[in-house]
Amino acid sequence: MSSFFRTVNRKALSYSLTTALLAAMSTPLHAEQEFWEYEMQPGDNVWKIAHEMLTDWRAWKEITQLNNVSNDRLMAAGTTLRIPRSLVKTRNAEVDLLTVSGEVQIQRNGSSTREALTDSLALAEGDRLLTSANSSALIEFEDKSKVLLTPDSELVIKRSSVIGAQRKVIDINVELAEGEAEIRANPNKTDNSRFIIETPSAFATTRGTVYRVRAAGDETAAEVTQGKIEVGNAVGSRYIPQSYGVITQKDAPIQPPKKLLDAPQLPALGTVRYLPAKLQWDKINGAVAYRSQVSEGETFNSLVLDSIGPANKANLPVALADGVYWLRVRGADSEGLQGNERIAQFTIDARPFPPVIQKPRTKDKLYSGPVDFIWTEPEGADNYRFELAADEAFTKIVTTTTVSDTSLTLEQVQEGNYFWRVTSITDEGKVGPAGYSTAINVKPVPKTPELAEPSIGEDQISLAWQPDPNTQYFQLQIASDKAFENIIVDTRSDSADAEIQKPEPGSYYMRVRGFDNDNYAGAWTSPQKIDVPIENFLPMILWGIFSVAIFL
């Protein structure tokens, strides 16, 4: 039974109930009734209503007979008159598509083609709107009633009429084939205006309230955030008060309304400096999922993000432009009813984006001396502020400079632990968020050993050099030439000394270099000459005598 259905006597009440039930049995949707129900206001009478609402005022007698009215002067305010729609004076009400976000299509009444929409335009009865993922459309009717069509939804404007000549009574009927509609109906509280939304499994009607309706197959969910609505189907109907909701099934009795979950507590969101990012809030008792929506305005006339998931957070993608936004969050219970919501403002100021560090990275092996720093070129960046610090908080700056290239070489970096970052700057001088910090470790280069004087024994040569705590092992080379083109010894030593087999008498050259635990080689020592003397001259003397004798 309609919440606006009242009569002044038992006979009229019985008649109206019977007619309403018959109408409900003949069709599952409230919108298809053949009568317009008018709730009388203080000072109203049938004669006055006939002149205002009917195409022919002389039909007032038919109205009194239909409603069993013997004396309309005695009818109390709130009494409902049932008026055949064929007698009601109507004109088409204005309907406008105010905002479009993302991919939205329209299928005009009588057309089989769909057109993409990018801007506002006038709508008419029979028009069908379709939103895709991450898209929304805001519809406004002549009485300022608004419908926000959320992503992946389809809605048809079945009727939008102004009834009467002066009172601006609006009769709106829309069909939500699938998806979700957020409705703010009759905000000016015009008496007798009505808003009906149908789904494949139910209908919801109101004369002024704020609520949400979702349609998915044979299931309809309705949640009231302000005022109250009536939800019904072919089986019956129920009132749903503020902060309550209901999920109905096709051709099944309407269940009692269920209290909606409390609104979440949202923290101060402030300014988002880095994208992607996430906005988080406290969990809601009884929530198994969370619906988060982001809009560029506090009234949520359009959506730039709309998601639902089990985590109590909203993810902000890189594609979001800098600017002021509003976050709206509500929890969903185990049955799928979404609760009361709360909104909070935040700002994105993430551009120009920081560059991506290319080298050196934390895992790279670096040694004291020249170090090359390289990064990418983000969109909108013309200059870069380079910073090298001894701490992650960048309070101990070692070097800072501004460059226009995407690389920088520091000629002398001492051993130690450092952090470096690069911040983008536009040509107008706007400084982006501080670049991401990268830790690096600069190791000491293995020292060049100092060579000791070789000790030449009878069969071996003992070699030694200065040890180094950062050196893990040494490489020793001996050659017969100073350029080390003819190497006769190339060996590894894990200590700062070595013994080699004494070569044939003559002049030789030795050099040594150290390696650390990453197999990084230090510099070679300067070549050191080794003279291996001739210890027995008798063979040489005999050979000389023999050579002279042969010659003679």
pLDDT digits (tens, 9 = 90+) for 35-49: 888 888 888 888 888
pLDDT score at 257: 97
Beta bridge partners of 387: 400, 421
Place of tokens 């009440």: 13
pTM of the model: 0.74
Q: Residue 147, Cβ neighbours under 10 Å: how many? A: 24
Residues 6 or more apart whose CB falls under 8 angstroms from that of 75 comprise: 8, 40, 44, 45, 46, 69
Per-residue confidence (pLDDT) for residue 136, from 0 to 100? 96
Q: Are 451 and 378 in contact (CB under 8 A)?
A: no
First to last CA, the chain: 148
The reported pLDDT for the residue numbered 538 is 53
- Which residue ranges in the chain fall short of pLDDT 70? 1-33, 166-167, 536-552
Starting at the earlier edge strand, list the strands of the sheet with 407-413. 357-359, 369-375, 407-413
pLDDT of residue 259: 98
pLDDT value of position 15: 26
87: Cα within 13 Å, side-chain hemisphere = 23
At 545 the pLDDT is: 60
Looking only at the bridges linking them, the beta strands covering 338-348 and 271-272 are: parallel
**DSSP assignment, residue 431?**
B
Q: Are strands 305-309 and 169-185 parallel, antiparallel or unpaired?
A: unpaired
Domains of the chain: 35-87 (3.10.350.10), 90-259 (2.60.120.1440), 271-348 (2.60.40.10), 357-443 (2.60.40.10), 452-532 (2.60.40.10)
Q: What is the pLDDT, as a whole number, of residue 20?
A: 31
